[in-house]
Amino acid sequence: MKKSFFATLAVLTLLSGCATTQENSKPEAATGEPAVLVNDYPTRDRVEYVLECVAKHGGLTYISQYACGCKIDKIAEKLSFEEYESAKTFTQMQKTPGEAGAAFRDPKQSKDLRTKLKDADAEAEKACFVK
């Protein structure tokens, strides 16, 4: 009984530490301007990216996990989460055939964001030694 109580207490302590992080705070740079937040991507989306990346690169190993985690960090340096999410949506939905897919393929915003994501991904791939 005591062991399960302490195990539950330990888990709750860990979870409460995660819940108190301030992702929405906007620190200011030395110039007084709001600093760019590199960690504005939700954990769920980072984990999803890492798992997809690991699957594409031969499965879970320490090296693939580290490299894929590095990749999403590098992408986060280049794109805000809003840009990343839009680019990912445009990329996935551009495969929709016919007129229905045109709304995702043709607009300038779609092309620009898809290109920006593709470039950031390529740079991250080189920087993080993903093979």
CB atoms within 10 A of CB 110: 20
Asked if the structure places residue 8 within a domain, the reply is: no
pLDDT in tens, 43-56: 999 999 999 999 99
Query: What are the backbone dihedrals phi and psi of residue 29, each rounded to the nearest 5 degrees, phi first?
Result: -75, 175
Residue type, position 120, single letter: A
Distance separating alpha carbons of residues 67 and 110, to the nearest angstrom = 28
Q: What tokens were used for 58?
A: 């031969």
In a domain, 35, yes or no: no
Inside any domain, residue 103: yes
Residue 81, domain extent: 43-128
In a domain, 57, yes or no: yes
* Whether the predicted pLDDT of 1 surpasses 50: no
Backbone angles phi, psi at 28, to 5 degrees: -105, 140
Report the alpha-carbon distance of residue 101 to residue 116 in Å, rounded: 20
pLDDT in tens, 3-46: 444 333 333 333 333 333 344 444 454 555 555 555 689 999 99
